[in-house]
């Protein structure tokens, strides 16, 4: 693949199509040395059978890279469908048509297509609102038609096209586009254009990654020439949709008995003093005296606060083993206990040992194309230690009803791969399933979107809260559940099942698991 795209120019100021008025990109060709793509414009007439169409260079459609990516990804299929029109199924002749040759209907209407081998006279098909014009020619091996069903306009440097029906303007029905001739040209001469389009798309996606906060995110693909969807939007925090509300920030409280300097200059030092651990799990193994056991059992039975009982901070503090600093302690790593971090209202200072996930990702990641049909994957550029934080799962927070609607409209169980229910506290807080929010990371989120499933994962997701009084909105954080070598693919269990849990019998629309693990459950969604 070439390392750069050279766009031929005429020395005139660059004009680009107005992306707001483009419907789609539906074909490509080579005109001289220039790669061109056929733009279908939005029509003022809904469901128009002959919307405006025009050919444009890669430079001119640069603002429509998402639509260009749509076309590139379906290029072969689109051309195969078009080519099939050239040889329709043979029909038996009726008695009164015997002896007549069967002709393929012309894709052009009003008889405006030139016959093979003939040359049409140049006709102007542009309405100019500034100094911009283009010429349309007949479509054959030596001449070209540049505009169909309309006229081009240029205003403020943006090109658009509007419907116009006139004797000198070639017309074509959209159902016939691309025509077999267009498909043939695209297949024979358009591969270079597709290759150059992929280079532009890859460069655009790389620029998106450069805008993501934190350590650098790389993009690697040695399998094919594709790139992840340009429509995916990287965000730094949740986006709350209709019907979703956080607890009033005024309800957030911090620890009041701690300080930045309590002995080792690491903020909170004593779990019995840190108010942020009020709802954190009690370390029952450290309750040894009969009196304390009795008090603890009474607190559990009556719902009394558990402050004062032995608890643990979730992370190893600085000054312990270097590889363990900020990593999860076993008490949390090997359980599903929720993690409560200190927050900005705390008196423990900005560098408290109990602050980690809220600082964001600190490891360098690589999005890469996997083998075996598993799409894109994620791996780390450095070794990860057991319990080390990787990144959070971000996206839109939607209601349960909206999540159900999106699943139904997707018409595939694969949609569940992007939905994550925020139901960690449903049982303890008496929340009904329909009252819990759901995170949808399909269209916006972070690089963790690309973490694939495995029945034997090396990562695990944990609940992390910065506001102990908000049981419906909290972070989902990925941590390494074992040491992970540099370059090893990151995976987690989409179903979050324990080893002893059984899978349901697969239905007709079940999705097979492709993780390849020795203990693979064979099915992802049943």
Q: Are 178 and 187 in contact (CB under 8 A)?
A: no
Angle made by CA atoms 280, 285, 291, in degrees to the nearest 5: 95
CA–CA distance, 353 with 315 (Å, rounded to integer): 7
- Expressed in angstroms, the distance from the first to the final Cα of the chain is 40
Q: How far is CA 39 from CA 24, 71, 128, 175, in A?
A: 6, 10, 19, 14
Q: Which residues contact 409 (CB under 8 A, 6 or more apart)?
A: none
CA–CA distance, 35 with 145 (Å, rounded to integer): 15
Collapse the DSSP code of 103 into the 3-class scheme (helix H, G, I; strand E, B; otherwise coil) and give the result: coil
SS3 letters across 391-437: EECCCEEECHHHHHHHHHHHCCHHHHHHEEECCCCHHHHCCCHHHCC
Collapse the DSSP code of 212 into the 3-class scheme (helix H, G, I; strand E, B; otherwise coil) and give the result: coil
Q: Which residues contact 411 (CB under 8 A, 6 or more apart)?
A: none
CA–CA distance, 109 with 357 (Å, rounded to integer): 63
CA–CA distance, 369 with 218 (Å, rounded to integer): 12
Task: Please count the residues of the chain.
Answer: 526
Collapse the DSSP code of 325 into the 3-class scheme (helix H, G, I; strand E, B; otherwise coil) and give the result: strand
Annotated catalytic residue: which of 332, 340, 420, 494? 494
Annotated catalytic residue: which of 71, 332, 393, 418? 393
CA–CA distance, 394 with 364 (Å, rounded to integer): 18
Q: Quick check: is 234 catalytic? A: no
502: β partners: none
Bin 372: left if φ > 0, else alpha if -120 < ψ < 50, else beta.
left
**How many Cα neighbours within 13 Å face the side chain of 365?**
26
Q: Are 340 and 357 in contact (CB under 8 A)?
A: no
CA–CA distance, 456 with 481 (Å, rounded to integer): 11
Q: Are 230 and 69 in contact (CB under 8 A)?
A: yes
DSSP H or E run through 36: strand 34-41
Q: Are 182 and 170 in contact (CB under 8 A)?
A: no
Catalytic residues: 393, 494
């Amino acid at each position: 693949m070439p390392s750069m795209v050279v766009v031929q120019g005429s020395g005139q100021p660059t004009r680009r199509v107005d992306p707001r008025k483009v419907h789609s990109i539906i074909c490509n060709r080579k005109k001289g040395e220039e790669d061109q793509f056929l733009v279908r414009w939005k029509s003022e007439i809904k469901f128009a059978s002959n919307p405006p169409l025009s050919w444009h260079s890669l430079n001119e459609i640069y603002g429509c890279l998402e639509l260009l990516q749509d076309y590139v990804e379906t290029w072969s299929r689109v051309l195969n469908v078009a080519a099939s029109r050239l040889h329709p199924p043979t029909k038996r002749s009726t008695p009164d048509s015997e002896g007549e040759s069967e002709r393929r209907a012309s894709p052009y209407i009003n008889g405006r297509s030139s016959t093979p081998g003939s040359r049409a006279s140049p006709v102007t098909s542009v309405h100019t609102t500034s100094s911009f014009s283009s010429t349309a020619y007949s479509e054959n091996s030596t001449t070209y038609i540049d505009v169909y069903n309309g006229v081009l306009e240029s205003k403020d440097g943006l090109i658009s096209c509007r419907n116009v029906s006139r004797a000198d303007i070639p017309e074509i029905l959209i159902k016939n586009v691309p025509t077999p001739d267009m498909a043939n040209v695209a297949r024979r001469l358009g591969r270079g254009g597709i290759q150059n389009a992929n280079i532009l798309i890859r460069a655009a996606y790389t620029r998106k990654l450069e805008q993501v906060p934190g350590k650098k995110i790389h993009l690697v693909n040695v399998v094919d020439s594709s790139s992840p969807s340009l429509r995916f939007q990287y965000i730094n925090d949740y986006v709350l949709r209709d019907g979703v509300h956080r607890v009033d920030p005024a309800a957030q409280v911090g620890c009041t008995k701690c300080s930045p300097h309590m002995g080792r200059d690491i903020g909170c030092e004593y779990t019995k003093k840190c108010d942020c651990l009020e709802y954190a799990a009690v370390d029952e193994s450290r309750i040894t005296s009969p009196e304390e056991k009795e008090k603890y059992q009474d607190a559990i039975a009556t719902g009394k606060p558990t402050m004062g009982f032995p608890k643990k901070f979730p992370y190893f503090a600085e000054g312990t083993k270097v590889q363990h600093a900020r990593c999860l302690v076993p008490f949390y790593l090997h359980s599903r206990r929720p993690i409560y971090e200190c927050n900005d209202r705390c008196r423990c200072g900005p560098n408290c040992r109990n602050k980690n996930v809220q600082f964001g990702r600190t490891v360098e990641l690589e999005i890469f194309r996997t083998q075996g049909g598993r799409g894109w994957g994620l791996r780390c550029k450095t070794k990860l230690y057991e319990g080390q934080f990787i990144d959070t799962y971000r996206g839109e927070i939607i209601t349960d009803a909206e999540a159900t609607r999106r699943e139904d409209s997707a018409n595939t169980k694969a949609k569940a791969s992007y939905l994550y229910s925020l139901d960690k506290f449903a049982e303890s807080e008496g929340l009904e399933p329909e009252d819990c929010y759901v995170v949808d990371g399909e269209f916006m989120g972070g690089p963790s979107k690309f973490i694939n499933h495995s029945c034997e994962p090396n990562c695990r997701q944990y609940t992390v809260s910065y506001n102990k009084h908000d049981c419906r909105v909290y972070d989902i954080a990925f941590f390494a559940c074992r040491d992970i070598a540099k370059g090893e693919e990151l995976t987690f269990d989409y179903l979050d099942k324990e080893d002893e849990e059984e899978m349901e019998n697969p239905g007709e629309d079940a999705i097979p698991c492709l993780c390849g693990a020795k203990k693979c459950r064979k099915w992802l969604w049943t």
